[in-house]
Structure 1
Amino acid sequence: MSQVLDTPPPTTTAPPADVDLAALAARHGLAVSGARPTLPEYVRQLWARRHFIAAFSTAKLTAQYSQAKLGQLWQIMNPLLNAAVYFLIFGVLLGTKDGVPDYVPFLVTGVFIWTFTQSSILAGTRAISGNLGLVRALHFPRAALPISFCLQQLQQLLFSMGALVVILLAFGVPVAASWLLAVPALVLQFTFNAGVSLIMARIGAKTPDIAQLMPFVLRTWMYTSGVMWSIEHLLAKHQDWPSWVGPVLQANPPAVYIDLMRFALIDSFHGSQLPPHVWALATGWALLAGIGGFIYFWKAEETYGRG
């Protein structure tokens, strides 16, 4: 007959109540798993991964149309087809081209610049929720994802700008020194887009259903941004509108960046059609969205990919 002896479980000794656990952990080199770094450290980490951000955005752009027979031509054809549809509906059927010089360059510029903002925000909304495998598998600043998606859309816009230049020349718009103003305008718009994308990435990470709502929000925003029609002519037709409507429409961020690009590229679009202090307004929107969106996203850094 064998006798089974039960081994008593090992006893653990809890640290005394007066021990500073944080100091104890620091002394042994322990840190909180997934803790949010300080803002300067976060910026340094993000800068250290700038090559990953650039490579990731380029890879996503290349893969976007890899299954299509026309391949990367769709980067130019998509906005051009959108512009053609808007020209038929708004320019011809609704008559918004009446009184607008160089309406086709006016419309195509608006569509291309608006598409840049729209695509950046939509991609940013899904940046975290659509890449949970990557977020949970690797440790990196999560802001790299929405920023890389904005960079992808900027690269796509630059491809489209080649087609825009051809359209401008075909409709008799001359090359001018003012075209150089497109560069700072795009830098400010990219900063604005990245900031809004970071905000939407945090909201989308917590509430993925927001991605289903955003196309409707953006479509409404597009109709108030002067993409297909002239804000100046609309306000002239409706002088009975409240006095605040005009400044609000002109200060609308996408409308500001669209107007700046039209002013830079189209010689018939004059400075009198721009809102007052337009460059200060464009810079203010860029800084407000860029810095505010970055801080807002960083504050939830340790929550992404959990739950």
Structure 2
Amino acid sequence: MSETTHDGGVAVSDRPSPDDGLSAAERAAKYGLAVSGARPGLVEYVRQLWGRRHFILAFSQAKLTAQYSQAKLGQLWQVATPLLNAGVYYLIFGLILKANRGMSHDVYIPFLVTGVFVFTFTQSSIMAGVRAISGNLGLVRALHFPRASLPISFALQQLQQLLFSMIVLFIVAIAFGSYPGLSWLIIVPVLFLQFLFNTGLALIVARMGAKTPDLAQLMPFILRTWMYASGVMFSISTMLAGRPEWIVRALQVNPAAVYMDLMRFALIDGYGSSHLPPHVWAIATFWAVVVAGGGFVYFWKAEERYGRG
């Protein structure tokens, strides 16, 4: 309560305030105040994300368009890059190291190209996800929106890029004698499950990368090791023939190998079910649901910390 002085000024009374002794949290609760940027409940967070669905799609499309805007070939690099990688792997692993054992060239070339394209989808989603927060701090600090929008939009960007590349993948398969059939319908659920898996991984590494930006420098080495262990350049069952069965199964059920082999089974006539692990669809669904769900919750739990400090 204030008192008026003789000269007309205002002096602050020494009477204690009723809020003295209350903590900041208690004062906030008393007056119905909330922490700025506080994490909403999980259901409310999902609702907010759905409300930003147009932003997520537009942001992913804008990033896709800008990705090669400075290159003369522009969007053609979306297809040229994995094709060039496949060409290098074919030279080294197909011709020099003879990793195509048990497969003719008509099978091995689409086998290799499919593996490169599908693994690149996961690889690019992770690399984009790890920088989703740390590389967009200006946007995160300037605007209020569900931060999960960023890694999700980057995973969606990589899906759109793969869909462009699939045209070339179809041409390669047909050129080597694998013509469209009912098995090609499998491509849709495979891509859907892999997209869920990739999105979950992008959310996980986005939170980790927000706290530890140096993770972006370490990730290429981790991904390269994962690629060599996933049978991108060789058939796991053929290359490890004679090895203990548990080693073969362990490599076959790793998610990168599962999604690659399902895509190969769908596209390539000479790639039969004998190359797939038992219960392959259950395994593919398990990886998609567990990683997507777990990654989403893991990212959401740190929502109020992104862009601070």
TM-score bin (small chain): over 0.9
Q: What residue is the counterpart of 2:39 in the other structure? A: 36
Q: Is 1:24 aligned to residue 38 of structure 2?
A: no
Residue 162 of structure 1, CA deviation: 0.4
Q: What residue is the counterpart of 1:73 in the other structure? A: 76
Q: In structure 1, what is the Cα distance between the partners aligned to 2:264 and 2:204?
A: 28
Pairs within 5 Å for 1:188-203: 188-203=193-208
Give the 4+ runs in structure 1 shifted more than 4 A. Answer: 4-12, 16-20
Q: In structure 2, what is the Cα distance between the partners aligned to 1:243 and 1:267?
A: 26
Task: Say which of 246, 252, 255 aligns to 2:254.
Answer: 252
Q: What residue is the counterpart of 2:58 in the other structure? A: 55
What do the CA deviations read for 1:231-270 (whole angstroms, capped 9, x no partner)?
A: 011121xx2x444211110111000000000011111111
Gaps of 5+ in 2: 1-6
What do the CA deviations read for 1:83-133 (whole angstroms, capped 9, x no partner)?
A: 000000111110011322411000000000000000000100000000000
Pairs within 5 Å for 1:194-233: 194-233=199-238
Pairs within 5 Å for 1:79-158: 79-101=82-104, 102-158=107-163
Q: What residue is the counterpart of 2:287 in the other structure? A: 285
Question: 8 Å contact 2:101–2:239 — kept in the other structure?
Answer: no
Task: Say which of 186, 191, 199 aligns to 1:186.
Answer: 191
Equivalent residue pairs, number = 298
Question: 8 Å contact 2:101–2:238 — kept in the other structure?
Answer: no
Question: 8 Å contact 1:120–1:194 — kept in the other structure?
Answer: yes
Q: What residue is the counterpart of 1:301 in the other structure? A: 303
Root-mean-square deviation (CA, aligned residues, Å) is 1.9
**Letter aligned with residue 214 of structure 2:** D
Q: In structure 1, what is the Cα distance between the partners aligned to 2:169 and 2:96?
A: 24
Residue 190 of structure 1, CA deviation: 0.3
Q: In structure 1, what is the Cα distance between the partners aligned to 2:13 and 2:197?
A: 59
Question: 8 Å contact 1:25–1:31 — kept in the other structure?
Answer: no
Identity %: 66
**Letter aligned with residue 143 of structure 1:** A
What SS is found at the alignment partner of 2:17?
A: coil
Task: Say which of 276, 279, 282 aligns to 2:278.
Answer: 276
